[in-house]
Structures are given as structure tokens and as C-alpha cells.
Structure 1
Amino acid sequence: MMKADQQHVLIIGFVWPEPNSSAAGKRMLELIHLFKDQGWEVTFASSAAETEHMSDLEDIGVDQVSIKMNSSTFDQFVRELNPSTVLFDRFVIEEQFGWRVAEQCPDALQILDTEDLHFLRRARKKAHKENQPCTNKDLLSSKDAKREIASIFRSDLSLIISEAEMDLLQNVFDVDRSLLQYVPFLLDPMTENEKNGLPDFSDRKDFVTIGNFRHSPNMDAVRYLKKKIWPLIRKELPDACLHIYGSYITQEAEQMHNPEEGFLVKGRAEDAKQVVASAKVLLAPLRFGAGLKGKLVEAMQCGTPSVTTSMGAEGMVGDTDNRAGTIADHPEEFAAAARNLYSDEKAWHEAQENGFSILKDKFVEPDFDQQLIEEINKLQKNLQEHRTQNFIGQMLRHHTAESTKYMGRWIEAKNQNM
């Protein structure tokens, strides 16, 4: 890949990246490595508390800086750093720091990494709790949508991880395509040696599910497996077990652990790919959520067929004949699909090969990393014209900056007087 012009990218993180804890952490590391591969200087700043599982970014040549929210110390920091590009990790970070960046570094390109559309996930969660479908009307009336869409308009470019979310933003919320960049997971191609080195059907056993327990769609999926799906699977496959892995295990999840039922809650996996590659089938009965599901991508990389829902597969498959497993939305169908993949070696191998094809066709060959770098360079050369054409963004920047600025300064003054 050709090197682009030297730049300094400031990433303001919602949390410090934990690639072994969540798909969001892995994606952030992918973006950091992409920028570093261009020869760009990268600084990662966050107001979050450091954790034992966070990446040591300094090991890969990235400066780590702790910053404060609602503090003018950030103004001095960003002004002296003078980055050419600032990437906000989720819309709440753009809300907090975007106006300060615009004030201190008006010529810096502002990029929003949405991770996934938070308002979509929250609306779907609410609809699920109420046992109702989530409609476009629900989304258009959502307060969360108003906040997140406003953040997208204020930003010069927003990174969108799912094709389904690209369509939603353009066709339901009328966001211009020039403000959006489709950037799914940035994966390296799998070699034949890597594929051949994976355990085969006869070398694997049991089922697996994996996901950060703090992420509500994952916790809901574990409950769903426990109450509705796993008993149906276990009834026909009494010797099989389900291994449940995830970071930040909750007390509720621990209490579901039951060896007699083959329902094994194990917490954080030391090597996520190893445990996924050891299983015959990955189960992901996700009933709400947004974005791309990292666990399904990881399963394909491990050659592990999966059973998931329409929600889980969103943005992942292009047609009904090329799936890395089975899509099922009802407990009985889900359990039957899981049992079939577990027992039918031919169906299992076909799903595995489909998974390899999906990785190649949807994540590797389109060269999304180079497309992003080219878009960043193009926007920086024509930034003022780009912003002039985005009148809604200008308007929102003006009014949001005024309101957020004074709220932030009021909080700062209040904190100083305490």
C-alpha cells in the first residue's frame, strides 16, 4: 500500500481499547494500525480509567494521553498537539469534545467512528422488551437518534461498519453519502496454510458462544440460550456441552453455570480464537443489536459454522445461499439448525467454505482500508468546500457549540468551586 502524506491523527477514545474484550476494541486497533501503516503519527487520548486488559499502545508507537472531560486543559492540549485529523470514538465523545476541537483546531478533519449506530441498538432493545417490531417511525422519533444523527452531520466524515446502517442513514435519515464512509472490519486474507491448520470436523466437539457480558445483546442471548434453546439442543444431544465465554462476567451469568445441563459459563477466554476453533458450532441467538457482529466474523476466521438470527446476520451475508451456517429466528428452528450442523459433516464443511468466501468477498478484497485513506486525503484538500456543502452540519455545529460550550464551562466552574 502506498504511503500517504505525513499526518498526525488524534483519536479520542470512549474507553482504552481492549481488543481481547470486545469487537469494538479490535476495530479500534485495526484503525490505529491502518494509520500507523501510512507512516502517520497517532496519539490516543481518553478520559476513561485505565484497565488491566487495555492494549499497551506505546508498544506500537502510539502516544497515550489521559484527558479530562469538561476541562479547559483539553483546549491547551489539543491546541499544542495541532492534529491534522481528529477521530471521535462514538458520538458521545464528539458531543463532549467536538466543539473544543473546532474552536482550537478549526482546520483539523473531524471523523466520527460510530462503532455501530447506538440509537438503532437502543431502539431495538426497547422494542424487544415491549415485544413489538422496531419501525422506522420509532427510529425517527428517538431522542438517541436525534443526538447521534446530529453528531454525524457535525462531523466531516463518519465511519459506518454495516451496509445495512449505510442504507438506513441515507434512505431514512437523508444523510448525504459524502458524509459517510463504509468501513467494516479490516481483515487480512486467510492463507491456505491457515485454513488447513484449523481443526477438522472430527477433531472438534461441543458448542460455543462468546461476547462481552456487559453488552446487553450478548447477555440477552445467554438468557435466551439458557431458557429456550439449549434445553432443545441438549434433549437430542445429551453428551454435548455449551461453553460460554465473555469478558466482564456478571453475577447473573455465573449463576447460570450448570455442569449437569452442559451449560458451562467460563468467563474471559485467554485465547478467543482457540476456544472458537475447538468448537463444532458457534451459537449467537441475538434478538437486538446493531453493526457487524465480531463473534460471527471470528467464527468464520476459525472455520467454525454458526447459527444466528436475522439480526445477528445483518450486514454479513449477501444472499440466502451463501451463509456461514444457518439463520433462524425461533427457538425450535434455531435448535434444529444447531443440531443439524453439529451432526451433518457435509453441511458443516459447506458452511465453513461459505464462511471463507464471505470473509474474502465482503471484508478482504474490496480494500476498504485504502478507500478510507484516499477519502481522508481528498477531504483534507477540499475541507472548506466540503463543509460549505454541508449546511445542516454548519448549522448544528453553531447551535450545538453554543449550548454545549456553556454547559461544559458551567460544569468546569462548578467542579473548581467544590
Structure 2
Amino acid sequence: MSEAGRLPRRQEQAADGDNASMTQAGRDIYYTTNNYGSDVSQIREIAEEVVRSQAPAIAAEAKALWEDSAREITLSIVEEVIRDSPEALSAFAAPRVQIALAAAQQGYASSPDDDLREVLTSLVVGIAREPARTHRDLLLKQSLDLAPKLSRRQLNTLTILAIFERTRYQNCDGPRDILEKTEELLRPFAGDVVGYESELNHAAGLGCGDQVQLTGEDFGGERSSIFKAFFQTYKADLYEDFPLKDVDSTLDPSEAIAEGLIREVDSPDSALQESVGSTKHYRLNQEMVDELTSLNGKLPQGNYVKRQIVMQMQDSWVSEEAFVSMIREQFPVMYTALQNMDKAEIFKFRISAIGRILAVANFSAHHPEIKNQFEKLLLTPLERGEA
């Protein structure tokens, strides 16, 4: 959309304190988006009618605040539809979408919160875009009902869990690179996460996941922790997908390939291709990954080929203990968040489809530039409405 056609920012709308903001904004939208003018005008009328019909029986001053919040989230929804899904404008004439709009107005007006507004906006727009009674439509409507019943801490924790569960990094330059990229994704959420198991029990009771009743620890095994799970999850990123960029003359790659320890791959990008010239590019196979982990920083005995590989990986290899120490010392906000989640026994929580839908909505509000990639990564085709 051109600069002239851009809607007023929601922050500016809230700052105006004008009870007629929805009416004026509706006129602005109609004037500057004439391709969809009739649809937007109808949405404005529908939204006003929904606001009036849903307003609770409360004192006049509180009612005015409630209506302002309801109009604010309606503007947010209309703005996102025009920006991302203008073809869905006509769907707002459907009863099911008006019901969703009313639910969002009720949820946000009852507890105004910027993050909640963005999550509810994303869910309503998703419902408007989706045919009725599909699997995704049902998940979106249930998520819309649940979002206002979750705290910001719970929503952020679901989002971090989703990031840990599915996000993988290829061609990373060692553990620091992985932690920097993870910290960048977690930054909007890590400052406010759950710290008590009861918070997870509440989220599970609402349908956002399940609490595992028994773990290996209950049978005398080692206690699980999110730090251990973090290390295991990204071990393949650290090793299996970590390139041996410069195989020196002490190692015969063909011999290592024959033993099933490494494999030849294409260079990950053209810049690397230019930098290494005709040098081959290799990656570790699973046996070598397991070997590195079990050695805990020591050199293997007996097998010369393995020894040479380990020597070349020493600069990038890191043990679980060193990995956690790196988080604690160099990424303190992420460390504190994971520590609090560990305290809440997050390793017993299994996120559900509803939890993933909410996580995607929360993630998208803070990382809109990669929301489509994250949705495709996290949700199944059925949950994305593609099956």
C-alpha cells in the first residue's frame, strides 16, 4: 500500500483519546483504499454495531473505556486485513466472523494489553481467511477463546517452547552462532516467562498442552532439564550440520567417507564457494556426532581418522557443560528465562496444536518478517489449512 493509503498507527489512535476514533478512522480507510472502499465501509458499520451490542452493563466512564478498546482492536484487525489479506474483507459479513470479531473485542476490552491485541488480531484475520468448519478454523476459534485466559508469561513460554521444538539452524559457525540466533528469536519473550508448575497446569487445563505424569526421574533415571534438552536438540546443528571447511593434508577425506564418518556436500552458499575455491566441503555423520559427544573434549584412541577429525573440530566442539556455561555467562536474559522454565518443570509439558497456534500468533507479532516461515515450520499442513 502507498504511504497515502497507510492506516493511522494504533498507538496514535490510542493516544487521541477520541471516542469517535473508529468512525473517523473508518472514513480515512474508506477514502484512502478505494479499491476496497465498499467492503471497508461495511466492516466499519458492522464493527460499530458489534461494539454497541457487546458493550457490558457497566458505569458510563468504564463503558467509554471499554468501547475505546473495542474500537482499537477493530482498527488493528481491519488494518491487518487490508495489508495482508484484502480478499478476506467480504468475509466480515459472515456471522461466524462477526462472532469472532465480538470475541476479540470482548477479550481485549476486558484486559487491554498490546501483545494480546496482536495475538487476537492475528487469530481473527486467520478466521476470516479460512473456510468454515475446517480443522484450522476450529483451532483458530478455540485459540481465540483461550488467548485472553492466558497470562503474558504463559503465552511467551508457549512461544519459546515452539521455537525450541521446531527451529533448526543450518550452516552455523559453531555454538556461539547458534546461541546468538536463538537469543534473537527469544528476545521479545524471554523477559517474562512462567516460573511455577501451576502456571503450566493452568495452560494444560485450557488445552494448550499436556503434562506428562511420569518421567525417567521417577524410575531412578537422570533428572531432565530444559538445558539438557536444548543441548540435545541443537547437537545436530552443532555437529552433524557443522561444516568441515578446511580438511588439511593430515586427513584423507576418502578414507573418512569410506568409514562412514563424514560426507561430501555442496557448499552452503556462493560466498563460501568463492572463498574455498575448489576445496571440498564435508559434514559429520551421526556416528561421528555421537563420538564427539561421548569423548567430552578428549581425543579418541586407536582410530587415526577419528582422531584427525576430532582435532579439526576442537575449536568448534563444545560439551554440554560448556554449552550451558556459555548461555549463563554470555546470554544472561536467555539463561534466566530457561532457568525459570526449568523451575516450573517445563520438560513435563507437551505443547498441543492449540498451543502451537497461539505461539505462532504471538511470534508473528514480534517477528512479522518471518511469520510465514515460522508458521510453515511449526504447524502441520492440516493446522495450516493446506491438507
Q: What interval of TM-score do these two structures reach, taking the shorter chain for normalisation?
A: under 0.3
Larger relative contact order (C-alpha < 8 A, sep ≥ 6)? 2
Greater Rg over alpha carbons, structure: 2
* Structure with the larger strand share: 1
Greater percentage in helix: 2
Q: TM-score, normalised by structure 1?
A: 0.23
Query: Under a length normalisation based on structure 2, what TM-score does the superposition of the two structures give?
Result: 0.24
